[in-house]
Amino acid sequence: MAYTQRIINIEDVTHDVKQFTLEKPEGYEFEPGQATEVAVDKKGWRDKKRPFTFTSLNDDEFLQFTIKIYPDHNGVTEEIGRLKVGDSFIIGDPWGTIQYKGEGVFLAGGAGVTPFIAILRDKNKKRELGDNKLIFSNSTDKDVILNAEFEAMLGDQFVSVITDEPTDDHIFLDGFIDKEFLKSQIDDFDQPFYVCGPEEFNKSMMKYLKELGANPNALVFEE
């Protein structure tokens, strides 16, 4: 089913990430971590659907998406970046492969953190964050999505990694997260792991985790 929903607020989260808040259809329900197909309600764009994760919670009276804009792609996110309050999205029914399986480690690369936002917000609201840990990799300081919120929610269980340039505010790795870094940050590999990021990031993390003894059945990742 398709729903045309008006945008009621737009905020800049980083230099290339925007948060869109829109009206919620009556009776619309979803689980934290789920996504839906989204299109721009404008001529020439209504059939160009892309998957985006809800970053609001099911109990909220609105829907929210946190979307990275790629202006050089000349595509859907560039058009989304031009939207204003009062414009509309066309959304479908919710779906998604990221489901919470219990306390564990969340590994995110860039905009791949978005499925984890609602999951962690939900656990925080219920006071059930426990020992959940987020290891979040970005290219530069300015790319870190919701840094202050993750710090406030998770404290020392939030590990922010920068891979492309030296930083004073985060952990700097000259290159990508590797097996040795995971080993230094994780004490227990017998727990759920949640992985979402670019394809190469996902492949590398899954490979390293299995080599370090993680159970393949406890690896949850966005396909």
What confidence tens digit (pLDDT) does each residue in 73-113 have?
A: 568 999 999 999 999 999 999 998 788 999 999 999 999 99
Using alpha carbons only, what angle is made at residue 168 by residues 162 and 172, rounded to the nearest 5 degrees?
30
How far is Cα 161 from Cα 8, in angstroms, rounded to an integer?
A: 33
How far is Cα 54 from Cα 30, in angstroms, rounded to an integer?
A: 8
Cα distances (Å, whole numbers) of residue 194 to 36, 37, 108, 155: 19, 22, 8, 19
What local confidence, expressed as pLDDT, does residue 113 receive? 95
- Domains by residue range for the chain, with CATH: 3-91 (2.40.30.10), 105-221 (3.40.50.80)
What is the torsional sign of CA 119, 153, 11, 138? Answer: negative
pLDDT at 20 over 90: yes
3-state DSSP assignment of residue 91: strand
Q: Which two tokens stand for residue 81?
A: 């970046």
How far is Cα 194 from Cα 30, in angstroms, rounded to an integer?
A: 19
How far is Cα 38 from Cα 59, in angstroms, rounded to an integer?
A: 20
Residues 6+ apart with CB under 8 A from 195: 107, 108, 201, 202, 205, 206, 209, 219, 220, 221, 222
What is the torsional sign of CA 152, 170, 111, 66? Answer: positive
pLDDT tens, 165-222?
777 777 777 678 899 999 999 999 999 999 999 999 999 999 999 999 998 888 887 6
What local confidence, expressed as pLDDT, does residue 100 receive? 92
